[in-house]
Amino acid sequence: MHLLFLRGNSRDSRAERPSSLSGVFGGGTKSWITGWGKLNSGDTQIPNILQEVQIPITNNSVCNKAYGGIITSNMLCSELDEGGKGSCQGDSGETESRGNSSQITEKSRIMKFITALSVAGTILLNIAGSLCQLDVCGQAPLNNKIVGGEAAKAGSWPWQASLRITVDGGQILCGGSLINKDWVLSAAHCFQGSLGTIRIYLGRQRQSGSNPNEALRTARTVINHPTYNNPRHDNDITLLQLSSSVTFTDYIRPVCLAAAGSKFAAGTDSWVTGWGTLQSGGVSPNILQEVKIPVVSNSDCDDAYNFLKITSNMICAGLLNEGGKDSCQGDSGGPLVTRNGSLWVQSGVVSFGNKCADPKYPGVYARVSQYQDWITANIGSNPPGFVEFNNNGFRISPNLLLVSVSLTSSIIPFICSIYLSS
């Protein structure tokens, strides 16, 4: 929800009149949504003329079940069971008016902040009535650490996934990140060869022992990037569809993704997490690890890897000329993220490196912002929350929300180089 103060007074005329804010909306209440949003999810053009569509209110209990338990009393849902009608990208913040004004009998409890109906600003409904992740992504309620660390507190990185992948008769360990209730982002090099069962652990803190907040899923679908190049490590990114949706908790939440056009300047603080070895060839830890490292410019990274081209599809991070902090074997596929306040944005996917924490070679990641179209096209409905980031600030990706928010640069990534065979 956002309030804008007009610089000049608006005329109260037949063409310009304020909207009424209220109250109680029962299931099935006829409502209207207006705006210039796209006519279909995925369209590249927006209509020139203001559009309107009539849809009914959906009970919050039904909506809450559909969206995995994240619908609160500050939200309102509307959709048709058969789909085909709904607000879409570009309609964020538009009004929704009731069909029967005589039923307005009670003020909403959130009227104290003039919030009224939080259509699209809190929940984005597209043609299929899907939820945009921008209202839930990137939030880690249990993460209050800002310093570099060793063992991570439970719930600090609620999007972190632990992947156990059966491939060619053996098993490897990789990382991943939850990007909505049905999909995990990881690295393509973890999914080469003859694949068997892929187990995906979310809300996990320990690789062995008790994990009371954990949810286990298998992979229903594996989508490697079609132009992944193994020798060059280019386009090292994969999407995993969960066998069933997860319910969001303080320990299981999606991360926001860097939108196309995002820029991460050299020196931007970032975080990397995983259960990878603590040194090259070492033993894997039982408890999830975390470390803070800065972004390294692509030009400096390319100079370091003079035997391998660092492309625009990659982003680098590490302590160049210093070493000592990095991702390592077993971290592959984990997220590299940045932070401002309570919002976390994934900038990279752990891809490769030379040894671990070598002062001459920073870790290399797949650059998430390069893959917004590919991710959106493959996921379809209920797209992840994309946020355009730069070191002067960030904004919600324009095809999702037209909102500006100031941001100071602070970041958290997850790095990984080589997967761990076992």
Q: Active-site residues: which are they?
A: 189, 236, 332
User: Which residues in 48-206 belong to E strands, given as ranges?
Assistant: 51-58, 77-78, 96-98, 160-167, 170-178, 183-186, 195-202
Residue type, 200: I
Q: What is the DSSP string of 205-232?
A: -BSSS--TT-EEEEEEEEEE-TT-BTTT
CA distances to 124, 191, 377, 394, 405 from 37, in Å: 11, 38, 18, 22, 21
Closest CA to 245 of 65, 82, 401: 65
* CA–CA separation, 252 and 110 (whole Å): 27
Bridge partners (DSSP) of residue 393 are 390
Closest CA to 27 of 79, 67, 73, 66: 79
- What is the number of other CB atoms lying within 10 angstroms of the CB of residue 65? 12
* CA–CA separation, 333 and 330 (whole Å): 9
* Number of alpha helices (DSSP H) and beta strands (DSSP E) in the chain: 3, 21
